[in-house]
Structure 1
């Protein structure tokens, strides 16, 4: 129908292009947000506090900074 190697290669090329697009697009739009579009800085802060990497005073101070920054 389409003939030659072009006819056999067009479908795999389209499939590979779609896969690359689906992987690249979410990474390009990430900018500090997870795929759902939600800022994950509070999640990271909470995990650090839960692991004991920071104390309660540090947690509260950084939480206030993050929340004030989001309001701006």
Structure 2
């Protein structure tokens, strides 16, 4: 389990709904990585259009806290 305080510090000041681009920037990963997390690692996503996705900040926080327990 990742340190909740460290996750909270990382997410401080972020909007309530994150775009995939915002997650890419925040986590320093590619768009493909974020899309893979959504598809294969169950990153919770809200579809707002055919290619528009948003992630609720609270759900992203919980996913990050549990992220080191995710198995490929």
Assess same fold via TM > 0.5.
no
Higher relative contact order (CA 8 A, sep 6+): 2
Q: Which of 1 and 2 has greater Rg?
A: 1
Give the structure with the higher percent helix.
1
Give the structure with the higher percent strand.
2
